[in-house]
Chains A and B, each alone.
Chain A
Amino acid sequence: MEPLSWTGVMAPLMPVLWIAAAVFAAATAIRLVASVFVAEGNRVTQSDGTLAARTGPLAVLDRIARMAFFAVLAYVVTFVVVGIVAGPGAGILGAVAQRLLPVWLALAVTFALSIAFKGRLGLYGKLFDSPIGMVGFALVMFWVYAAIFGAAGLILTHDPLVQISGMKNALPGSPVAGNDGAVYDWYLLGGDNLARDVFSRVIAGAWVVVQIAPMATLFAFMVGITLGLPAAYFGGRLDTVLSFLANLILAFPVILLFYLLVTPEIVQTGLPAWMGAVMFLFPIAFTGILLNARYRTRPRFNVPLLAVVLGAMFWIYLSLISEPGSAISVLPRPLDLFDIPGGILVVFVSVVFVNAPTVLRIVRGLAMDIKTRDYVAAAQTRGERAWYIMLWELLPNARGPLIVDFCLRVGYTTILLGTLGFFGLGLPPESPDWGSTINEGRKLLSIYLHPALPPAIALLTLVLGLNLLADGLREESLRD
């Protein structure tokens, strides 16, 4: 097997890409500097008081930048298509594009369906009116699909944990030594310090993030909402105490908190497991109060509903927290639905713990503002109970900012997970998560770039996608 080059058959076209990218960068930069000195817009006031539309220098730069951008985009799309067809023939990037085929298909289907039905999809549909939002959504979904298909075994070229001798620090595109056709022929993005495939580890790392980050953020929101709404609505001493506690946690430097919670000695005491046991109660409490507030007046419907929903949630709760051999082991083996590996649970708990106070403060701020509205007064006059007003009047009206913050916070949680991995806290050392991989790769950074850069870029693009998505959502939700 020959080592792969980066671009293979596409190599002759590469200068086109570089020129287009350079033109785009230059036009954007010149425009940025020029806009300080040259007036924006193309309308010029003439001496007789009439307006004339002229093509100013800035508009010319805009057009150049846009054309260059579309040239780059067209090139990238061509590359992906050629890569899917030619595979390794189009070099490392072509082979990567081919491995990612399920992701491209899923992305294409998602975008086609969403754009076709965007009129009927509410806020989600409106996202497809904003270019920024679409770019963000595409980046996020790229990693979500990559993680899911990667976990399903479609994308990975090698087992992310298996070492192949002779491949230590192998350069990108190196053929696998002594391969007899049992595994994929190349290490596409090279091998790391322990001779594992970097490409497969990056994709497997996405699955760690996609599993933990949204769920942890959701839990943090449940905790924050369940505590923040009453703090704002009732005010008084409850508010003082809850705000004090939230500020207390926020005054901790996050890393100190992680070191205090996630070290093996503390895990041994069972403290994080107990914290989890408390925090995981909040979703049950939240759902229970939510449903009860709504259907309280129809007991024949309410009681069975609550029994079924809360019963199921409580079972999941017990399976979640109970783990044989750990501090909490309440459920007998056959009833235990699933076991979360201890490290993951601790990481999950500490990430929720760090995020919840911020959510509490945001929810409290929003609710303080909304509770002065007339419809809240109307509900109070109708004689609605406090929890009904909080969950069915205040919360739905705070959803816009909360959804935007949710996207941002998933990004922040991803960063936190990376931080944990970077300091080697919580997750097992061979775990393919991006933080740990970056930490391992950085030690040889002055000689080998390929083990550290792919996970760094992966994390960057995912968080960037989430931020752009939040920005697009904010823009679109402000529009109505």
Chain B
Amino acid sequence: MATFILRRIAVMVLTALCLTFIVFTLTNLGPNLEKIAKTQGNARMSDADVASWLAGHGYMRPLPVKYGEWLGVLPGYVIETPAGVRGRCFGDAAEIPPGAPRFCGVLQGDWGNSTVFREPVADIVATRLGLTAKLMFWVMVLMVPSALLIGVLAGMREGSRTDRTLSTVSILSTATPEYVSGVILIAVFASSAVGLKWFKGTATSAMDHATFENFFLPVLTIALYGMGYIARMTRASMAEVMTAQYIRTARLKGVSFRNVVLKHALRNALIAPFTVIMLQFPWLLNGVVIVETLFNYKGFGWTLVQAAGNNDVELLLGVSVVSVIVVLVTQLISDIGYVWLNPRISVA
């Protein structure tokens, strides 16, 4: 088991390195750099000005070197300027400050500065991630129990009318992406045109204090899309368990249907949905981006859109590192959990 986890972690680190390198490369392509220079410096710079600005800020060096600096395995650049020196690790100064570190990258905990928000990336990511965690927590609270309930009810009598109705409901929910269900929910429950106005159409105020009124619609919107998929997986798993030999044995020895479901089938049927729920995280991340944009909830997904839309390189890198790590860690947990929950599988 230990070697299995170690190997998975090694693959995970390799994947994270590759992905950040790809993001780094794409954000450092020529036209993107030009955009940075023009937004940071002056919008009307000539090509020569752009080139000198980029050179003066350390952008014109080979890509692997820049990546190494960002990562913190190569010493940060130090460039002579007319006013003194400019270094990656200490900014503009007359001369290199005595206590300045040589390495300053992600590994040293220095995530750089956002060019849009003018704040350290680490702070932005931490606050925004906290807000999104709040959203995700309530999504999970709503989504997982209802999805499992629907799945178990549908799967315990496969092919029955209940099964058909619930399966259709879960198909409907998987067929409704967040930007459709969000729009419909806002239209019905929050607009003055329909006039119900039960909830608020924006969740901006939920960032400080979330109430049922301002937070329910975004939570429901994300939960609806993920729910159908988990419910269908639970249904398939439950239906498979219900045809197993030991269930038939239990039925034949006279155990009531309720007890068969609750005591014999349920635990085994919930192994597969566990992995599915864990693997839902990358998908939910997608939903989070859409819903946070739709409801103007300034969390992690909203930050991603802002960073990507403005080519805020360091913020975008920070965001992608975090999201990639979230995806990979959930994959790891799902693998370990599957092995741990399922007695039939053993990893030497």
Q: Interface residues, chain A, CB within 8 Å of chain B? A: 28, 31-32, 35-36, 39-40, 58, 62, 132, 244, 247-248, 250-256, 259-261, 263-266, 268-269, 271, 411, 415, 418-419, 422-423, 435, 438-439, 441-442, 445-449, 452-453, 456-457, 459-460, 463-464, 466-468, 471
Could you write out 20 A-B pairs with CB less than 8 Å apart? Answer: A32-B165, A40-B157, A248-B15, A251-B328, A251-B331, A252-B19, A253-B304, A253-B320, A256-B304, A256-B320, A264-B31, A438-B179, A439-B179, A445-B191, A446-B191, A447-B191, A449-B187, A453-B183, A456-B184, A471-B171
- A36 CA to B27 CA in the complex, in Å? 55
Question: Cβ of B289 < 8 Å from any Cβ of A?
Answer: yes
Once the chains bind, are A266 and B308 in contact (CB under 8 Å)?
A: no
Which of B171, B183, B293, B327 meets A464, CB within 8 Å?
B171
Verify A263–B311 contact, CB threshold 8 A.
yes
Beta-carbon contact of A449 and B194 below 8 Å: yes
* Minimum-distance CB pairs A-B, first 7: A259-B308, A265-B31, A464-B175, A463-B175, A35-B162, A415-B177, A456-B180
- Nearest CB in chain B to that of A31: its residue: B161
Would you call A442 and B183 a contact (CB within 8 A)?
yes
| Bound-state Cα–Cα, A411 to B175, Å | 8
User: B320–A453 contact, CB under 8 A?
Assistant: no
User: Which residue of A has the minimal Cβ distance to B293?
Assistant: A423
Contact B309 A259 (CB under 8 A): yes
Q: Which residues of chain B are near A269, meaning CB under 8 Å?
A: 29-31
* Chain B interface size, under 10 / 10 to 19 / 20 to 34 / 35 or more: 35 or more
Q: Does residue B193 face the partner (Cβ distance < 8 Å to A)?
A: yes
B222 adjacent to chain A (CB < 8 Å): no
Q: How far is the CB of B246 from chain A (nearest CB, A)?
A: 22
Chain A residues whose C-beta falls within 8 Å of the C-beta of B165 in the assembled complex: 28, 31-32
Contact B177 A253 (CB under 8 A): no
Give chain A residues whose Cβ lies under 8 Å from the Cβ of B157. Answer: 40
Contacts of A244 in B (CB 8 A): 11, 15
What residues on B are CB-neighbors of A248 within 8 Å? 15, 18-19
Which residues of B line the A interface, CB within 8 A? 11, 15, 18-19, 23, 26-27, 29-32, 34-35, 153, 157, 160-162, 165-168, 171-172, 174-177, 179-180, 183-184, 186-187, 190-194, 201, 257, 282, 285-286, 289-290, 293-294, 301, 304-305, 308-309, 311, 316, 319-320, 323-324, 327-328, 331
Query: Which single member of B160, B172, B323 contacts A40 (CB below 8 Å)?
Result: B160
Query: Cβ of A39: which chain B residues have Cβ within 8 Å of it?
Result: 257
A262, B347: Cα distance in complex, Å: 42
> In the complex, what's the smallest C-beta–C-beta distance from A439 to chain B, in angstroms?
8
Whether A32 contacts B324 in the complex (CB less than 8 A), given A418-B180, A449-B194, A456-B183, comes out as no
Q: Determine the distance from Cα of A407 to Cα of B167 in the docked complex, in whole angstroms.
A: 17
In the complex, chain A residues whose CB is within 8 Å of the CB of B309: 259, 263
The answer to whether A256 and B160 touch (CB under 8 A), given A269-B29, A445-B186, is no
Please measure, in the bound complex, the distance between the C-alpha atom of A259 and the C-alpha atom of B311, giving whole angstroms.
Answer: 9
Chain B residues in 8 Å Cβ range of A261: 26
- Write out the residue numbers on chain A whose beta carbons fall within 8 Å of the beta carbon of B293: 423
B162 touches A260 (CB 8 A): no
Q: Do A419 and B171 contact each other (CB < 8 Å), given the known contacts A253-B286, A256-B320?
A: no
> Which B residues lie within 8 Å of A466 (CB)?
175
Output the nearest chain B residue to A434 by Cβ-Cβ distance: B180
For B30, the chain A residues whose CB sits under 8 A away are 269
Question: Given B32, B153, B183, B191, which contacts A266 in the complex, CB threshold below 8 Å?
Answer: B32
Contacts of A250 in B (CB 8 A): 282
> With the chains together, A28 CA to B166 CA distance in Å?
10
Q: Which residues of B contact A62 (CB under 8 A)?
A: 161
B29 contacts A266, C-beta separation under 8 Å: yes
The residue that A253 contacts in the complex, of B26, B179, B327, with Cβ under 8 A, is B327
B214 to chain A, nearest CB (A): 14
Q: Which residues of A contact B187 (CB under 8 A)?
A: 445, 449, 452-453
Tell me, rounded to whole Å, the shortest Cβ–Cβ distance linking A76 to chain B: 18
Contact present for B177 and A247 (CB under 8 Å): no
What is the bound-complex CA distance between A439 and B18, given in angstroms? 33
Contacts of A439 on B, CB cut-off 8 Å? 179
CA distance A447 to B187 in the complex (A): 9
Residues of B within 8 A of A448 (CB): 193
CA distance A459 to B177 in the complex (A): 9
Could you tell me if B308 and A260 are in contact, using CB atoms closer than 8 angstroms? yes
Additional A-B contacts beyond A253-B327, A256-B323, A263-B308 (7; CB < 8 A): A40-B162, A265-B311, A422-B290, A447-B192, A447-B193, A453-B184, A464-B175
A419 near B179: Cβ-Cβ < 8 Å: yes
Contacts of B167 in A (CB 8 A): 471
Within the complex, the shortest CB–CB distance from A190 to chain B, in Å, comes to 12
Residue from A32, A435, A471 in contact with B179 in the complex, judged by beta carbons closer than 8 Å: A435
Across the two chains, which residue of chain A brings its CB closest to B31?
A: A265
The distance in angstroms between the C-alpha atoms of A422 and B290, with both chains bound, is 8
Of B157, B177, B201, B289, chain A has the most CB atoms within 10 Å of the CB of B177
A250 and B328 alpha carbons, distance in the complex (Å): 10
Query: CA A471 – CA B286 in complex, angstroms?
Result: 25
Q: B residues within 8 A CB of A252?
A: 19, 320, 324
> A421 to chain B: closest CB distance in Å?
9
B29 in complex: contacting residue of A40, A58, A265, CB < 8 Å: A265
Let me know if A419 and B175 touch, CB within 8 A. no
Chain B CB within 10 Å, residue with most, of A35, A253, A464: A253
Q: In the assembled complex, which residues on chain B have CB atoms less than 8 Å from the CB atom of A256? A: 23, 304, 308, 316, 319-320, 323
How many Å lie between the Cα of A260 and that of B293 in the bound state? 18
Minimum C-beta distance from A326 to chain B (A): 14
Instruction: Provide the residues of chain B in CB contact with A435, threshold 8 Å.
Output: 179
**Assembly CA distance A261 to B32 (angstroms):** 12
Asked if B15 and A247 sit within 8 Å, CB to CB, the answer is yes
Docked CA distance A294–B108 (Å)? 58
A438/B183 contact (C-beta < 8 A), A259-B308, A265-B35, A447-B192 known: yes
Contact present for B193 and A449 (CB under 8 Å): yes
Cβ of A342 to closest chain B Cβ, rounded Å: 15
In the bound complex, CA of A347 to CA of B183 (Å): 23
Residues of A within 8 A of B305 (CB): 255, 259, 423
- Given contacts A248-B15, A254-B286, A449-B187, is CB(A467)–CB(B308) below 8 Å? no
Asked if A445 meets B180 with Cβ closer than 8 Å, knowing A28-B165, A265-B35, the reply is no
The distance in angstroms between the C-alpha atoms of A464 and B176, with both chains bound, is 8
Residue of A nearest to B34 (CB): A265
Q: A418 to chain B: which residues have CB within 8 Å?
A: 177, 179-180
Q: What distance in Å separates the Cβ of A448 from its nearest Cβ neighbour in chain B?
A: 7
Which of B34, B193, B305 has the largest number of chain A CB atoms within 10 A?
B193
A253-B323 contact, Cβ under 8 Å, with A263-B308, A423-B305, A463-B175: yes
In the complex formed, the residue of B with least CB distance to A265 is: B31
Q: Is the CB of B183 within 8 A of A441?
A: yes
| A247-B15, A442-B183 known; A260-B172 Cβ under 8 A | no
